[in-house]
Amino acid sequence: MRYNMMKTENNQSNRIISLGEKISYGITEIACNPMYTIFCSFLVFFYTDVIGVNAASVGTIILISRIFDGFSDIIAGNIVEHTHARSGSARPWILRIAIPLGISYVAMFTVPDCGEWGKLIYIFVSYNVIQSVVYTMANAAMSALPTYMTNDRNSRSSCYAVRLFIAAATQTVLSLKFMNIIEALGGGQRAWIKLAAILGTIAAIVFAIVYLTTRETVTSGGENGEDVPLLVGLKALMHNKYWFSVLAMQFCCVLHQVTTLTVGVYYAKYILNDAKLVGNIIMYHHFPALVVMLLVPIALDKGVSKRMLAILSGVSMLLGSLISLVCASGVPFIISMGLRGIGFGAFSSVIYGMLADTVEYGEWKTGVRTQAINVTANGVGQKIGSGLGTAAFGALLTMCGYNGMAEVQTASAVSCIRIIFIVAPIAIYLVLIILAWLFKLDKQFPQIQKELEERHRKTMAD
C-alpha cells in the first residue's frame, strides 16, 4: 500500500503563506525559546553554582535524559501525525500544551533542599517530564506545523526562517539580561523561580495566540485517507539518506551551541571573571546572526541553494574559531564570536527548510509521506548531541577538579573551560562543512517534485 496521497483543505495545499501568518507561526519561539535558552546556557550553571550539585552527576543525568527525550520526539511526531481534529493535526497540540508548558518553567527551578541524592532525583524526574513530555510535545507540534500549512517549498522555508529569526532575537535579549534580571529579583533560587513564573505565563498566552492565528490546509495520509503506521513511517525514514544527512548536521549545530552557550557562562565567570559578561558573549554571537537571518531569505529567493549556504556557514564558524585560537581577547575575540554567529545564523535559517525537503524526497523514494515524524524524529540528533556534549563537559570539569561552590577553581578546570570553548569547535565545524558538501538534494528537488505531482494526478484519476 502507498501512503503518498495528500488531503487538502479547499485545494489550498500549495498556498502562499502571508507575512502575518508567518509571524504568527514564528512567535512560537517566544513561548519555547526561553526554555531552550535556559537548557542550553543556564540550567547546568543553576544546578552546579546555585543549588550545588556535582557537575559530572548533572551531565550524566542530562545525557540519559536526552537519549530518552530524543526517542520521545518520534512518539510525539507520531501523535501529531495521527491527530485529525477539526483544527488540524499540529494546532490542537499547540493549544493543549500551552498551560503545561507554562507550569514547566517553574518546575525546573523548584529543586527542594533535601540533600545531594534528593536533589538529583528531583532533577532527573523533573528534567525528563519537562523535556521528554511537555517541551517535546510543544516542539513537535510547532516544528511540524509549516508542513501542514502548505506544500509550497518557499513558503515553508520562509516560515522556518521567520521562526529562527524570532528565536535568535528572543535568545539574544534573554541571554543579555538573564543574569541581571536574576540579580534584580534578589538572587538565589527564589529569583530563578520568579523569572520562570513570568516566562511561563508569557509562554501559555503566546501558544493560545498561535493557535488562533494560524491555519492548516495539508494533511498526510494514504489513498483513502489512512494514517501512516508508526513502524511504516520509521521504516521509510531509514531509507531517507538526506534525512540522515540533516540529522548529522543538526548534531553538529547542537554541539556548537553546547560549546558556545553552555560553556559560555563558565567562560564568562572564570576566564572573564564576571558571569554577567555571558551577555556580551551572546551579543557578539547573536547580533550578527540576526542580521544574517534577515538576509538568508533574500539569498534563497535569488537562487542561492540551501546547500551552499550551509557550506558557507561552516566555513564562517571555522574561521571564527581559528581567530580565537590565535587571540581570544579584545577585538579579535569579538570578530571571532561574530563569525561564529554569522555561520550559526545562516545555518539555522536553512536547516529546517532542508529537513522539510526530505519529506518530499522520502515520499518519492519510498511511496510513504511522513511529515511530523520526519521533522520531529530529527530531534534525536539534536537532543543526543546536546546530552553527549553536556555530559562530556560535566565529566571533564569534574576530572579537572571543578567545584561550583568553590570561590576559586583549579588551574586545570579553568584550562578545560578555555579549551572546550575555543579549540573543540574547530573539529565540529570541519565535520559540518563535509556533511553540507555531500548534501545534493537541492539539485534533485525540482525533478522529484515534478514526478510526485504526476503520481498524485494519476492517483486522483484512478
pLDDT band at 222 (very low <50, low <70, confident <90, very high): very low
Top mean-pLDDT range of 36-45, 128-137, 184-193: 184-193
What per-residue confidence (pLDDT) applies to 218?
A: 76
pLDDT band at 223 (very low <50, low <70, confident <90, very high): very low
Top mean-pLDDT range of 9-23, 64-78, 255-269: 255-269
What per-residue confidence (pLDDT) applies to 2?
A: 52
Is residue 197 over pLDDT 80?
A: yes
Residue of 277 and 312 predicted with greater confidence: 312
CA distance 39 to 37: 5
pLDDT band at 8 (very low <50, low <70, confident <90, very high): very low
In a 10 Å sphere around its CB, with 0-12 CB exposed, 13-18 middle and 19+ buried, how is residue 16 labelled? exposed
pLDDT band at 4 (very low <50, low <70, confident <90, very high): very low
What per-residue confidence (pLDDT) applies to 102?
A: 92
Residue of 323 and 276 predicted with greater confidence: 323
As a whole number, mean pLDDT of residues 223-248 equals 79
What per-residue confidence (pLDDT) applies to 378?
A: 66
What per-residue confidence (pLDDT) applies to 327?
A: 86
What per-residue confidence (pLDDT) applies to 147?
A: 83
Is residue 43 over pLDDT 80?
A: yes
Long-range contacts of residues 121-129, Cβ cutoff 8 Å, at least 24 apart: 123/47, 123/53, 123/58, 123/61, 124/61, 124/64, 124/65, 127/61, 127/62, 127/65, 128/65, 128/68, 128/69, 129/104
Rounded mean pLDDT of the chain?
86
Return the HEC string of the chain. Answer: CCECEEEECCCCCCCCCCHHHHHHHHCHHHHHHHHHHHHHHHHHHHHHHHCCCCHHHHHHHHHHHHHHHHHHHHHHHHHHHCCCECCECCHHHHHHCHHHHHHHHHHCCCCCCCHHHHHHHHHHHHHHHHHHHHHHHHHHHHHHHHHHHCCCHHHHHHHHHHHHHHHHHHHHHHHHHHHHHHHHCCCHHHHHHHHHHHHHHHHHHHHHHHHHHCCCCEEEECCCCCCCCHHHHHHHHCCCHHHHHHHHHHHHHHHHHHHHHHHHHHHHHHCCCCHHHHHHHHHHHHHHHHHHHHHHHHHHHCCCCHHHHHHHHHHHHHHHHHHHHHCCCHHHHHHHHHHHHHHHHHHHHHHHHHHHHHHHHHHHHHCECCCHHHHHHCHHHHHHHHHHHHHHHHHHHHHCCCCCCCCCCCHHHHHHHHHHHHCHHHHHHHHHHHHHHCCCHHHHHHHHHHHHHHHHHHHHHC
Is residue 119 over pLDDT 90?
A: yes
pLDDT band at 335 (very low <50, low <70, confident <90, very high): very high
As a whole number, mean pLDDT of residues 10-28 equals 82
As a whole number, mean pLDDT of residues 255-262 equals 85
CATH topology for 21-218+228-461 is Growth Hormone; Chain: A; (1.20.1250)
pLDDT band at 227 (very low <50, low <70, confident <90, very high): low
Asked which of 202-206, 345-349, 430-434 is least confident by mean pLDDT, the reply is 345-349
